[in-house]
Every structure is written in C-alpha cells, then in structure tokens.
Structure 1
Amino acid sequence: MQLVKAGLCAFGMSGKVFHAPFLKEHPGFFISGIVERSKEDSKEKYPLAVIYRSVEEMLQNAEIELVIINTPVQTHYEYAKMALEAGKNIIVEKPFTVNVEEAEELVRLADEKGLFLSVYQNRRFDRDFLQVKNIINSGKLGTIKEAEIRFDRFRTTPSGKQHKENPQQTGSGSLHDLGAHLVDQAVQYFGYPEKLFADVFSMKGTAFANDYFEILLFYKNELRLRLKSSVFTKEAHYAYAVHGEKGSFLQERTDQQENELVAGAVPVFGEEWTVPLKEQDGILNVLNENNETERTFTLSEPGNYMDYYQQIYEHIVFGYPLPSPGSEVVQNMKIIDAALKSAEEGKVVEL
C-alpha cells in the first residue's frame, strides 16, 4: 500500500481529536511531523512523529507531501500559502479563511502549483446530515418548499479563546465557526442560493464576537432555507426540519463522533466504531400514494470521519474526486461574507 506522509501544523483540540487519530489508524497514512511550539504532548501517542517547533521548520521536510492546516483561522491563509509554495498538498480546517479574497487566492495558487487543497468539512460525514440527505434524495417529501438547519449550544460564559471570541479579530465568532458547517450543509442539500438576509450579533455583548446568527437563504425555485445558531439554547430544537409538498421530516443532531473522540475513543479503519444509538432520532410524516398520512420514526445510520481521509487517500493514489475541494468551499465563504454585509446594512444581499 502506498504510504502518504503527513504533517500536522498544530496539536491542539483539532489535531488531537479530528486528525491525528484517523491518520494513525488509516493504513495509508503516516504522521511524519507535528508542530508543537513548546510542549511535547504528541510523544505518548505518536512517538514516531518528529516534533517541530514551527510550521516553517516542518515544511522543510521533503518527505512530507500532505500538510494539515489546523491552526486558528486567522493563520490559515499564511500557513496554507506557505505550504503550497513549499510544494505540499494541503487540508485546511474549517472555516477555510477569514474572507473570500484569501480563499480565492489560495485556490489559484494550488492550481498554479498543480497541488490539491481540500477543506475539512467533517460534518458531511455526520449521521444526522447523511440521514437528511437520504430523505431529501428519496423524493418522499416531494418538492421541498422550506427547511431549517440549526446548530445550537448552551455556552453563556466566555471560553477564553481569543481567536474565536475577540470581536477585533477578523474571522472570530459563531458565523465563521458553526456557520461554516451550516452553510456547507445548505449548499450540499440545495445548491447555491440566489440571495440572503442575515441577522448576526453577540448575545453576550459587544465585548465578544458574534455568538448568534440567523440567515435566510432565497432560492430561485421559491425554496426558503433558514440557518440558525445560538449559545443560549438550553433545550434543544430539532437540528433539521425539511418541509415539502408531500410532508415533513424532522431530524435531531445525534452524531457523537466528536464527543466519543474527546473521551478517548479510537476510530477503526474499515469498520463502524461509534456507539450505536439506543433510540430513533427522526420523524417522517408524509402522504402516501393513496393520499393517506404515514408517520414513522426513523433511525439514522452511523457516520464516519474516517471516510473523509479515505477519500483523500483515494484521490492521491487513484485520482478519485477530492472531498470538499477549495474551489467548492470558496462559494461557502461568499455566503458568509454576504451574511456579514447583510447584517451590517440590514438589507437583502444578492449572490
């Protein structure tokens, strides 16, 4: 099996949870290097990986062909450009960049260098996202007229993470953080909208970056799609609500991969490794061919973030399609930028 040597630009939560475990357990990857500026936390689990004190130092390793940019979003453009200029293929954590201009420049540079750039949109591999996609594609709801996707939390106190909560830092706030997931899911389900209207602000006050947003997406076929997130939601809503001419589907956000990984779970290559759901997590209410109501409770199939790295591997070795390429996720950045503009001006923004 061809071995792809990879380097991680950081070993914080993202590196420990979303990337290193999958790179280690996938037989096609080898973690050659990890950047830790002062600590050596990675040594215990990844003793064969060389610890570098800077991204620049790691990029000098000619054997590394894949670099994961998993640093704060404010540094994505700088490190991604540096890695591309060093001849490395790259995976960039979401959010891609702080604005469209940076994203477009990186995509152009990757094309010029003949390298690939993928954005780590891991929520495409969540069980709940996949279940909704299956229901929409099944046609059971008929023509979709209205939908809502939510990502709510109850985090009323500051986390202390300046790159996420300091309003003076471009790219901070929930719109870039959680909005990067919701916007991506919206585009995956329904394509690119025609225009939008957004409300974006901080419920915790102006000393903090936005922690609330509501975006209304307008589609040419008269579909209306609402994306919403709040940190003052103690009681959970259905994360997905899809309404069509033939009925409705409600889906809870039930994927637990992140929580299980944080708790120490080890992903298994080629197998399901998450804890099975004990209860059904969706409601499908539709009219059948006889115009009779059929209401059923549904159970989503497990998701697997390993599938992302399998697709990366297959792209490198076999030339299969690249998951979430930068050229595709640039469109998401346009929606995020437009949402900020709409909230500031109080106007509908054309896309």
Structure 2
Amino acid sequence: MPGWPHDASGLGGLRGAGAGFHAPLLQAAGLTITAIATNSGERVAQASADVPEARIVPDLDALLDHAATDGLDLVVLASPSGVHVEQARQVVEAGVACVVDKPLACDAVSALELVDFAAAEGVPLTVFQNRRYDPQFRTLQEVLRSGTLGELRQTELRWERWRPVPKDRWREQVPPEAGGGLLLDLHTHLIDQLVLLHGPVETVYAELAAWTTAAEDDTFLALRHTGGHRSQVRASTVSGAPGPRVRVQGSLGAYILGSAQGEQTAFPDADGPLGQLGWVVRGPEREPVAAVESDPADFYRAVAAALVSQDPMAGMPVDPSDAVHVLAVIDAARASDRGRRVVDVITPGEAPD
C-alpha cells in the first residue's frame, strides 16, 4: 500500500479534547492543522486563536469537502463519544486516515464493525489512547520489566476525584449508550493500560453507581487476566479522599504512586522526590523510583511515521482491535453489575478458546 503524505491534517468536532489535547500534540509532532470543524462561537474563537492558519468549517461534512478539494491526509475526531462510529465511517468512506478519540465506540460490537469496515476499505484507523504515553505509565512498565517486585501478585489502578457537583458537559448528562459515564471515559485508559501490562482480560466483576450524573460516576472492577494475574481498577468523581493512583504487589515488595497529572490524592508522600515517580516499598523500607521520560506527542509522531510507511494500517501506534477488547471488558462490567456476578469477557471477532 502506498504511503500517505503527512503534511496536512484536520480536527473534527473540536471541543475540550480537541482544544486541550489534540491540537498542541499535532503541532508538537510537526503536523500541520489545515482545517478545524466546530460550530460553537466560543470554540470557533478559541480555535482561530490557537491555530490561526487553519480554516474553520461548521461540521464534518464541510471538513471532508475540504479534504476532497484541497487534500487532507488525516482527520482527528474529538467529538462526543456517541457519534464516533458514525463520524469515523464518514471519514473512512472519504478515504482519509482517521484518529478517533477514545472510546472508539460505545460497545464492542459497534467497534468491531467499524474496525472491519476500515480494514475492508484499506483506510488506516487508530484510537487516541494517549495515556500509554504518560510518564507515570512508562515508569510503571519499567518497574515491572525490571523484576524489582519479584513475582507479580496484584495490580491496582485508580483515577479518583472529588467533584460533588458534576461538570456541565455532555459526558455527565447523557446515558451510557450515548457515551456518558466513567466506563467509557477513564476506564478506557485504565483497562487499556492493564491489558498492556498483563494481557487480555478473561473475567470481570463490577460494582457501578451513578450518584450525581446520568451514567456511572463511581466504579470498581476486579479483573482476571488470561495469564492468571489479578487487577483491580477504580474510578470515581465522588471520592472525598482519592486513593493512590498505582499500587502493585509482588513477592519482593510493592510499588506505589500517589498522584499523577498534577491531581492531588490523600497520599502525597507516595509521589516521591523531584525526578522520581513513586516508591518501591518493603515494609518500613522504601526506595524512590526514577521517572521514565515520555512525550505525549510521540503518539502523533508514530501516526505520521505510519502514514509514510509501506503499511500505514499496520504501523498505527494503537491497533484498533485493542479498543474492541477494552470495550468488551466494559460490556462485561455492565453485565456483571446488573447480574451481581462474575462475567466472562467475550471479545467479538475472536474465536472462543
């Protein structure tokens, strides 16, 4: 397959994610944003200020018209989760490579249908799982690779906040089937990280609650990976005392990290000194862990490299099939909460064991 040039890209559905994450990362990676689709007066003004060289168009149709007439090598969708599949299909039908902000879809079956469609059309598709590039996650990967903890026994990831009055955003106002709630927000990152660390998930037990929002805002998942490792993952916006972001137990000690991305927890002593990220703890003894540097713009550098490679689809930094499995875990978590039981994870498109 011939490579795509990588000198022009467009942002579709510019909202908080587009303004806060994608535009600066695209620019840092050396990609030129030539068009932005948004129809909000406030966001139009912000987009014009942030990317003055870009053409501002009202919607995705206009963005794809721009692609057809002036050329566009990549479209990044930063729109509400409930329209990701519909909009991504439009982009694929136009023959333009596509980055979809997480989640790829609101359920695993819809995600697989989109992945299969892009593959059949021969159009590169990937998912913006940017938390793979966080220094905190890269540091955790290095700790586990080093063998410092010995035989791994359990991994706990948390993303908890104290937000008793929810933000006034679509995510807090719509039901799960439209993309609302923490499972399709924070858990898409946390589960993705756990799968990278320990392999696919085999079973899940979940407890979900919606205290202040239309969909779940307080969640707990217990995962069993196919290799036997056990993981626990918690996300909440109603936690008055947010717990440590990471705790991994091993036969030779534990690794703990208090906070990440500048979000404070009730465990500031677990962060480590400057230049460190967390501690290896053995009872009363603890050793600081050196931070592994990582640049979040590397995601888009990898996208750019893939587009000029001999096989752009295979070269994308996140295989969209990974997102299908993560969504299968989320689907199983919803079934677990409804049935109050452990549920097998069935990833569509994969042959049963």
The question of a shared fold, defined as TM-score above 0.5 by the shorter chain, is answered with yes
CA distance in 2, matches of 1:165, 1:96: 20
SS of the residue aligned with 1:225? strand
CA distance in 1, matches of 2:228, 2:85: 36
Shift of 1:227: 0.6
Shift of 1:169: 4.8
Say which of 131, 136, 141 aligns to 2:139: 131
Q: Retained in 2: the 8 A contact 1:132–1:251?
A: no
Structure 2: tracts of 5 or more residues without a match: 265-272, 346-353
- Paired residue for 1:148? 156
Shift of 1:305: 1.0
Shift of 1:74: 0.5
Shift of 1:255: 3.2
Deviations 1:249-291 (A, max 9, x none): 11233235x99xxxxxxxxxxxxxxxxx73643110359xxxx
CA separation of 1:152 and 1:163: change in aligned 2, threshold 3 A: closer
CA distance in 2, matches of 1:137, 1:331: 23
Shift of 1:11: 2.2
Q: Retained in 2: the 8 A contact 1:145–1:222?
A: no
CA distance in 2, matches of 1:332, 1:188: 11
- Paired residue for 2:235? 229
- Paired residue for 1:297? 288
Say which of 88, 96, 101 aligns to 2:109: 101
Corresponding position: 1:17 with 2:20: yes
- Paired residue for 2:48? 43
CA separation of 1:38 and 1:279: change in aligned 2, threshold 3 A: closer
Shift of 1:307: 0.8
Shift of 1:203: 2.5
CA distance in 1, matches of 2:88, 2:107: 14
CA distance in 1, matches of 2:123, 2:227: 37
- Paired residue for 1:213? 219
CA distance in 1, matches of 2:166, 2:258: 26
Q: Retained in 2: the 8 A contact 1:214–1:226?
A: yes
CA distance in 2, matches of 1:169, 1:195: 22
- Paired residue for 1:192? 200
Shift of 1:223: 2.3
Aligned residues: 325
Say which of 34, 37, 44 aligns to 2:36: 34
- Paired residue for 1:6? 9
CA distance in 2, matches of 1:340, 1:14: 26
Corresponding position: 1:69 with 2:77: yes
Q: Retained in 1: the 8 A contact 2:159–2:245?
A: yes
Structure 1: tracts of 5 or more residues without a match: 260-276, 288-292
The AA in structure 1 aligned to 2:105 is T
CA distance in 1, matches of 2:172, 2:40: 22
- Paired residue for 1:311? 302
SS of the residue aligned with 2:341? coil
Shift of 1:168: 6.8
Shift of 1:202: 1.1
Shift of 1:225: 0.6
- Paired residue for 1:336? 330
- Give the structure-1-normalised TM-score: 0.86
The AA in structure 1 aligned to 2:231 is L
CA distance in 2, matches of 1:317, 1:247: 45
The AA in structure 2 aligned to 1:46 is V
CA distance in 2, matches of 1:10, 1:212: 28
The AA in structure 2 aligned to 1:48 is E
CA distance in 1, matches of 2:215, 2:242: 23
CA distance in 1, matches of 2:260, 2:248: 17
SS of the residue aligned with 1:107? helix
- Paired residue for 2:64? 59
CA distance in 1, matches of 2:6, 2:124: 17
CA distance in 1, matches of 2:109, 2:176: 19
Structure 1, 30-39 or 214-223: larger mean CA deviation: 214-223
Shift of 1:32: 1.4
The AA in structure 2 aligned to 1:45 is D
- Paired residue for 1:271? none
SS of the residue aligned with 1:194? strand
- Paired residue for 2:267? none
Structural mapping, 1:158-177, within 5 Å:
158-167=166-175, 169-177=177-185
Q: Retained in 2: the 8 A contact 1:4–1:66?
A: no
SS of the residue aligned with 1:134? helix
Q: Retained in 2: the 8 A contact 1:173–1:209?
A: yes
- Paired residue for 1:282? 278
- Identity rate, percent: 28
Q: Retained in 1: the 8 A contact 2:10–2:76?
A: yes
